[in-house]
Chain A
Amino acid sequence: MNNKNIIAQKYAKAFLNLYEDQVSIQDLNGIRKLEFFFQNHKKVIYFLSIPNILPETKEKLLGELFKEFNLDVLLKPLIHLLSGSKRLFLIDDILKHIKLLYKEQKNIMAFNISSSHEISNQDLEIIKNFLAYKTRKTILSRYNIDKNLVAGIRLQSNTLLWEYSILKQCETLRKQFNIQEAR
């Protein structure tokens, strides 16, 4: 882990020590979207790292940005702190670590639930309960329809996977064909 990452992690830890109780699941979703925004708009981070631009300008930019994601109130003290220590360019890494540490501390796991066809809310609840039982964690889920599965469902987090679909079985068949052909 490089130095930038270590420092960002420390800021994230410090932030959560103070404001953990104020962070909600909706805020977490907002942080995730913000993280995604920063990944796709790296120029913003570059802008924040330019020393010639006044800290107040940078603070104002971030304030306006965070307002769009309903995070301005929560993250204002953090922005102010980073502005004072001229470390606003660490904001994307800090948000990433806030998300990870919060999930770790609150025993939350995020899953992507994909199904070939639409499933009912009741079925979604059953799936979430199944995951909660298996992982012993609180489940945060995002649901989408993936026609590539042909039939079946796929449950994936960063570190766990459960799949029962035609796509998976076709993949298994393809591997077996490859093995037979190689022989």
Chain B
Amino acid sequence: MKIKNTDLVSLFEQSLKDLPQEKLDEIGIVVKVGDNICQVHGLTNAVYNELIDFEGGNKGIIFNLDEESVDIFLLDSNIVVAELEIAKRTGGVLKTPVGEQFLGRVINALGEPLDALGEIKPAELRPIEAAIPSIIDRSPVDEPLETGIIAIDALIPVGRGQRELIIGNRSTGKSAIAIDAILHQKDQDVICIYVSIGLRQANLARTVRLLEENGALNYTVVISADSSETVLNQYLAPYVGCTLGEYFRDQGKDVLIVYDDLSNHAIAYREMSLLLRRAPGREAYPGDVFYLHSRLLERAGKLASGGSITALPIIQTQSDDISAYIPTNLISITDGQIILDTKLFNQGIRPAINIELSVSRVGGAAQTKAIKKMTKALRLELAQYHELLDFSQFGTELDEASQRQLERGAIAVQILKQPQYLTYSFVEQCLILFTLKENFLNEVNLKNVLSFATQFANYVKSVYPETYDIIFDTQDIDDKTMEKLREIAREFSKLFVPPENSDKI
């Protein structure tokens, strides 16, 4: 960028106007530099996590305090730090800019824009490590956060202020679930923050394009610390995202924050700790890797004064092993997990959610009455179905009741399938599940059940909007509405044309 002459003059004037400083700066001398960390001799009164200014223009954060020296991680890998350079205390911790202007923008872990849409003027600067709301300040999670995915909203409901872990092998649809949840927040008055840690730039570019095309970028902030960034930036990114979320939460807004993914975050922290020569523990992770994530996720929650942060951390497993170190840490921290199974994914069941192993500890408290009524016993039916399925593979003849159960379970599995980028409102989900609950799908060919159910939902929305609105406004389905829906369903059953026959008409 060319600097204008007027800018030059004003910069000169401004700097020469500076009065001599009153205090002496506390300094240290760089004695060792390498791997993006440097050892500085001196800085005797510096504190842990303090921000340090280098003479050459770089900045860093203190991560180790020794008797005579401190170890500092550098924030900018492009600015050279030389031996014997002077490092000055700033007296404060790293602060990140926050504000409404960040909505719709893509930024890095230092709050700098990456989308070439100009500078962002922050409303304020906040430290990235913040105090966690106390028990008194919190309120129970009782409001649903719709993800738009039937399998989740029906069986593993997420509430506003909950932490729900998304866990699975690579390429099982973890990010897809998170992105769909973000896309569904349009007109839901929820601000979304997507933190990308250690992922490929190409993937992030695709995600940003998708959010933009679907109008989701307007209420989303994307924070990028891709795999080419320094480990410090990858370490900082989730905390920056959380700080931004807290800014909106403190204004009484609901925030959804996705950490994609915390395995890379743990790996970055491990690399930092090993470079600092801290003693490695299990799987070479440092001893405080639990605290790394617990202090991040404890900042999510619902406040009594209004506002909430719902966290969807993502963790990648190796060979479906959910008993590994980092996954078990996160399972114990979060309020439930959505487990994605590679086998189910390969069988074409997408989202590949393992309903039996997935859980939401908030449960029905985060569901509308309408959904609760429609999903009564569904989880049990699915569990019984899977058990019978294993049994039926032995080739034994099953009694009529078991066969009916198998058929019903198969229909339920089909109903819970959902294409990517297609989300349903809770009313649509109720209507889809209604067809299952009231056995309207029993006479439909298995491959057409999803089509039937979704078309029924559209049918009610377009032909009987008053019924649709009743469910939407009351968030419940009373007996009268139930009866009306049965009538509509009987009517629709006569009109339904399965997709393979539609060309013949």
Contact = CB atoms under 8 A, between A and B. Distances in A.
Interface of A: 1, 131, 134-135, 155-156, 158-162, 164, 169, 171-178, 180-181, 183
Contact of B119 (A162, A175, A183): A183
B306 to A, nearest CB: 36
Contacts of B12: 173
Contact of A183 (B1, B43, B55): B1
Given A162-B24, A175-B57, 9 more contacts: A159-B26, A159-B27, A159-B42, A159-B43, A169-B16, A176-B15, A180-B3, A181-B1, A181-B3
Contact of B20 (A1, A156, A158, A164): A164
Contacts of B28: 159
A173 B42 contact: no
B81 to A, nearest CB: 14
A169 B1 CA distance: 22
A161 B88 contact: yes
Interface in B315-363: none
How large, as a class, is the contact surface on chain B? 20 to 34
Given A1-B67, A169-B18, A160 B27 contact: yes
A164 B7 contact: no
Given A162-B25, A181-B3, A1 B68 contact: yes
Looking at chain A's contact residues, the main secondary structure is: helix
Nearest to A165: B20
A156 B43 CA distance: 13
Nearest to B29: A158
Given A156-B27, A172-B15, A162 B21 contact: yes
Given A158-B29, A159-B42, A135 B21 contact: no
Given A1-B68, A169-B18, A178-B57, A161 B25 contact: yes
A121 B20 CA distance: 21
Contacts, number: 56
15 contacts: A134-B23, A156-B86, A158-B29, A158-B41, A159-B27, A159-B42, A159-B44, A160-B25, A162-B24, A169-B15, A169-B16, A172-B15, A175-B57, A180-B1, A180-B7
A160 B41 CA distance: 12
Nearest to A158: B42
B29 to A, nearest CB: 7
Most buried by A among B24, B67, B88: B24
B11 interface: yes
A177 B1 CA distance: 10
A177 B8 CA distance: 9
Interface string B22-37: 0111111100000000
A109 to B, nearest CB: 10
Contacts of A159: 26-28, 42-44
A135 B24 contact: yes
B107 to A, nearest CB: 13
Given A159-B27, A161-B25, A173 B1 contact: no
Contacts of B27: 156, 159-161
A164 B68 CA distance: 28
Contacts of A135: 24
Nearest to A177: B3
A176 B14 CA distance: 11
B233 to A, nearest CB: 15
Interface in B121-153: none
Contact of B15 (A158, A164, A173, A181): A173
A105 B68 CA distance: 17
A124 to B, nearest CB: 17
B381 to A, nearest CB: 58
Contacts of A177: 3, 11
Contacts of B23: 134
Interface in B72-102: 86, 88
Contacts of A173: 11-12, 15
Nearest to B25: A161
Most buried by B among A161, A175, A180: A161
A145 B11 CA distance: 28
B1 A160 contact: no
Contacts of A183: 1, 119
Nearest to B58: A175
Contacts of B119: 183
A104 to B, nearest CB: 11
Contacts of B88: 161
Nearest to B1: A181
A162 B23 CA distance: 8
A131 B23 CA distance: 10
Contacts of A176: 11, 15
Contacts of B43: 159
Contact of A171 (B26, B41, B55, B68): B55
B12 to A, nearest CB: 7
Contacts of B86: 156, 161
Contacts of A158: 29, 41-42
Contacts of A1: 67-68
Contacts of A171: 55
Contacts of A162: 21, 24-25
B462 to A, nearest CB: 50
B21 A164 contact: yes
Nearest to B23: A134
B197 to A, nearest CB: 23
